[in-house]
Amino acid sequence: MSLNNHSVCEKCNIVRNQDIHEDVSKVSFITDEDLREVYRLSTSGFFWLLGIILLYYGLNEMFVSLFFIASYLTSGYKVIISALKKILTKDIFNENFLLLVASMGAFYLGQFPEGSGVMLFFCIGEFLQETALKKSRRTIESLLSLKSDTVNLKIQGKIVEAKPESVDVGDIIVIRPGEKIPLDGVVVKGRSILDVSMLTGESAPREVDVGDKVLSGMINVSSLLEIKVMKRLEESTVTKILNLIQEAIERKSRNEKFITRFAKVYTPVIIFMALLVAVVPPLFLGESFRIWFYRSLTLLIIACPCALVLSIPLGYFAGIGKAAREGILVKGSNFLDLLVRAKIFVFDKTGTLTSGILGIGRVVSKSNYDEREVLRIAAIAERYSSHPIAKTIREAYDDKIDLDIREYVEFPGFGVKMKLKDVEVMVGSDKLLHREKIAHDVCEIPGSSIVHVVVNDKHIGFIELENKVKNEAVYLIDELKRFGVKKTIMLTGDDEEVARRVAKILGIDEFYARLLPQEKVEVLEDIKKRYNEWIVAYVGDGINDAPVIARADVGIAMGAMGSDAAIEVADVVVMDDNLSRISRAIQISRKTKSVVIQNIVFSILVKIIFLSLGVIGEASMWEALIADTGVALLTILNSLRILR
């Protein structure tokens, strides 16, 4: 329980983590291509604003229109080229063609600010979403370089540095205190304590001895270990985790946007109607071709979906902005939709539903000692230890400790023994009491860590340490059920009894315990197959959660304490680790969806009314423009309500 080298190891861990963060920070998330896009869109925005200003001051409209055309071509040339290419491949009715029709219709009417503005703001929205996706992919690539570059390989009694990929099964590697285990293997020499929290989610350190299996990614805390390699690098646990993350991202495609689906139906219908209006009356009724051609153009202008093109993205941007104000990062508009539709929420336990830090559950006293005295004696014995459990005990006993301790002895993996004046004290695990042949009636309590306290060979009590459930976790589970979530499930690498206790406290429907990262992915895949008609969300924080977060329909990461891997692959990031933010994210998503649907219905209804008027000649192009611009303005104002 108490370890001399632990403080040194903690220092090593800090250095190691700093190195990792430095390596990640060196990865450039803004590429030269991104900068060129920023310059291009900024230039387009400059031309557009300059045109607005010159138009306001009454300059010649023909001259001012040149600035709007420059803005249009600067921001939209990729959209125009894409639309033309798809026309050549007979894929006409797509999002780009719809935008092209809308902007060209505005230009035809001389509404250059609207035509160029639609293109500019659409391209800005596209760039922001693509940037978020590319950033996530680049971070995953950078994580691959964070694996151990070298290992300490033991050859004929000598230790040499070698590349992990050059180590074969059966080779012996040496792991010093504070180092990360680079390859899966079995301990052949030494006894130590491992920090496994980043790999399995377990908060309590794990003791290992000769013959115990260890996995790559675990951190050696206390003593030198010699490990016989059982798997090559490409088969090791850390490599599998990183591969799972990449595979999950590749398998998870973006949802097709509403505007794209809408365009495939709406655009051909409107174009066909415009052709009928232009051709049928002159050919079959002997009407003036000029009049009906004008009406067909009016029809196209009325049908230009400027309100939809502007208000739908703006509605989602407002929802994303509102969420960001409240400490929730949503990495795309489609994830707002998916949050509303999610019917199954799957949670990691440690660090997500629980604090991830062991705290004092209860103190049990025996004989004539009270609970405060048992805690005091334990705190005195742990005075010189830097082990996490020792630190927890000292913090729980908040009084000053200033006593003369003699004959202090530590037993790694067991506990401590010392003398206080003429009193002999032992504090440690059940194994220490059995080794010292101390009679006691409680050995272990499933799901908890027990620290026994002995005075003069007499068991005077024990301290039970447990993971504390977050207060907001109870609130969130209740809120999810109120929102209509059908099932809540918990996945954890912890003991089954711990999982059962947490699930019971929170009212979680199902739980799966003692899972490795790859097993979590397998369980999630099984859940998705069993409930294939429902959207599945996963909430986690550690690197062991990253593959599952990436594979879920909606991956949610806890940002304050979460690993870089989990945060970068997540679709939604809660920046302050407050679980109640997830409930708020769902509320914002619902509001956003409601506003977007309002905009869609209102826009289409107004279009239908004015299309009817246009066909019978009761709406001119000017009236069509007013209707189109007015609807766009009203839907934009409606979208901005989300920010309130």
As annotated, the active-site residues are 348
Tokens of 157: 């009694």
Q: How far is CA 541 from CA 64, 95, 577, in A?
A: 53, 37, 9
357 vs 480: CA distance, rounded Å: 25
528 in Cβ contact with 252 (< 8 Å) = no
Token readout for 387 is 């082990």
User: Which H/E stretch holds residue 576?
Assistant: none
Please give the C-alpha separations between residue 159 and each of 156, 170, 602, in angstroms, as whole numbers: 8, 15, 74
Q: Do residues 171 and 159 make contact, with C-beta atoms less than 8 angstroms apart? A: no
Quick one: how many helices (H) and strands (E) in the chain? 21, 22
The DSSP secondary-structure symbol of 422 reads: T
Cα(192)–Cα(210) distance, integer angstroms = 10
Distance CA 91, CA 325 (A): 40
- What backbone phi and psi angles, to 5 degrees, belong to 535? -75, 135
Cα–Cα distance, 569 to 173 (Å, whole number)? 32
CB 445, CB 498: distance < 8 Å: no
Both tokens assigned to 139: 């971070």
- DSSP label at residue 350: B
Q: What are the Cα distances from residue 343, in Å, to 17, 336, 460, 464, 507?
A: 37, 14, 50, 37, 16
Q: Among candidates 578, 37, 572, which has minimal Cα distance to 319? A: 572
φ/ψ of 352, rounded to 5, equals -110, -65
Give me the count of residues in the chain: 644
CA torsion, ordered 45, 51, 56, 60, to nearest 10 deg: 180
Strands of the 225-229 sheet, one edge to the other: 158-162, 151-155, 172-175, 225-229, 185-189, 213-214
Query: What whole-number distance in Å separates Cα of residue 313 and Cα of residue 116?
Result: 16
